[in-house]
Homo-oligomer: A and B are copies of this chain.
Amino acid sequence: MAPSPEAGARPAGPPGVTIRHVAADAGVSTATVSRVMSGRGYASGATRQTVLQAVERLGYRPSASARGLRTARTATLGVLVANLANPVFLPFLRGVEHVAEAHGYAVLIADSRRSRDVERHELDTLYAHRVEALIVGESVENPEHLATLSEAGLRVVRAPDAGGESTAWSAAAIEAPAIVAACTRLADLGHRRVAYVTGPATRPPAPRGSARRDLVVQTLTVRGVAVEPVTMRGTDDPDRVTSAIRELLDTPRPPTALLCAAHPLAPRLLRALADADVALPERVSFLTFGDSPWAAAYRPAIAVIRRDAYTEGRAVAQRVLYDLGAAPEPGSADPPLATFDPRQSMATPPAAAPR
């Protein structure tokens, strides 16, 4: 291949079949090919067939870069999560991806790892790729970054967990019925002291956290149940968790139920309870946010307040694509929901200990 003496250099990489190759092969102009490919504008049935055959033969796929440059629409969504290690993001991401795929959109992921610097860099990358919308999967480290992007014209949508006001459905609203049901059940069973166990506090505090806790506290208090907030530190060290659990339960009037505020925390607490020889549910009842096959498999099976993150992801993506004019209409698909699933880990509390 002799280098041509043109001013602009030919980029490296494989030749790549462009719209011009197709046009030449089909004996039409590039404009016609473009019209056929995008489905906009006129094209007779005959030429359409010819073009499509050429496309097929050459394996032509329009370049998203070129199209995006020309149209300022990249057919790309960005998803920013605070911690990709959190398994709840998987179904959420999945929901987003499925809807996006159905409408020809691509999905870029970004994991801020709870670091402002990383978040900054990730957002830069997403913006550089001109994502048409940014879905924020959880709380943001530095709201200023987002504000800047928002002013720059980027559409920002927050998942139910992400806090802020621009949420389609608030996490609290979704969870409220299930939380009330669970708290009512605890009270009905006779519990009068409940520990609300959270992981180490994050900075900034997870909005979800406070909304949940507030509702739990309110609901239980109204029913005459005292709530004791417990912050579990060093959750990666089983021994620390175990001693914390011992300390919590070795009191004159210990809580008779543990409400675990975050699913990833649950197995760690259960392990500590087992290590501390605490009988479930005889000595304490156990209930956690978030479900998994393991929670159901555990003996006793663990009661849960479960959210359908997949549907949440779908719903958020639907809404965004509708806003972008890329999806027909949100439709009245199943709204995101939360359910309370009482299981064997919740039971009547032991008789009150002597004072």
Contacts and interface: CB of A to CB of B under 8 A. Distances in A.
Interface in A270-297: 270-271, 274, 292-297
Nearest to A122: B101
A329 to B, nearest CB: 20
A38 to B, nearest CB: 12
A111 B98 contact: yes
A110 B101 contact: yes
A198 interface: no
Nearest to A126: B106
Given A122-B101, A153-B14, A153-B16, A63 B69 contact: yes
Contacts of A350: none
Contacts of A61: 124, 127-128
A130 interface: yes
Interface stretch (A71-79, A180-188, A226-234): A71-79
A104 B76 contact: no
A293 B274 contact: no
A109 B98 CA distance: 11
Contacts of A107: 108-109
A252 interface: no
A195 to B, nearest CB: 18
Interface stretch (A40-48, A85-93, A205-213, A332-340): A85-93
Interface in A20-48: none
Name the residue among A63, A66, A74, A294 with the largest chain B CB count within 10 angstroms.
Answer: A294
A73 B14 CA distance: 11
Nearest to A68: B65
B267 A294 contact: yes
Nearest to A85: B94
B69 A267 contact: no
- The count of identical subunits is 2
Interface in A103-141: 104-111, 113, 118, 121-122, 124-130
A11 interface: yes
Given A64-B128, A90-B87, A13 B72 contact: yes
Interface string A50-69: 00000000010111111011
Contact of A274 (B69, B110, B297): B297
A268 interface: yes
Nearest to A127: B61
Contacts of A13: 72-73, 153
Contact of A129 (B76, B93, B94): B76
Given A101-B110, A110-B101, A71 B152 contact: no
A312 interface: no
A203 interface: no
A70 interface: yes
Contacts of A89: 90
A12 interface: yes
Nearest to A84: B94
Given A62-B128, A65-B69, A106-B126, 8 more contacts: A16-B152, A64-B129, A65-B65, A89-B90, A97-B109, A97-B111, A267-B296, A271-B297
19 contacts: A12-B73, A13-B72, A61-B127, A64-B130, A65-B69, A97-B110, A101-B122, A104-B125, A106-B108, A107-B109, A238-B296, A266-B297, A267-B292, A267-B297, A271-B293, A294-B295, A294-B298, A298-B298, A299-B299
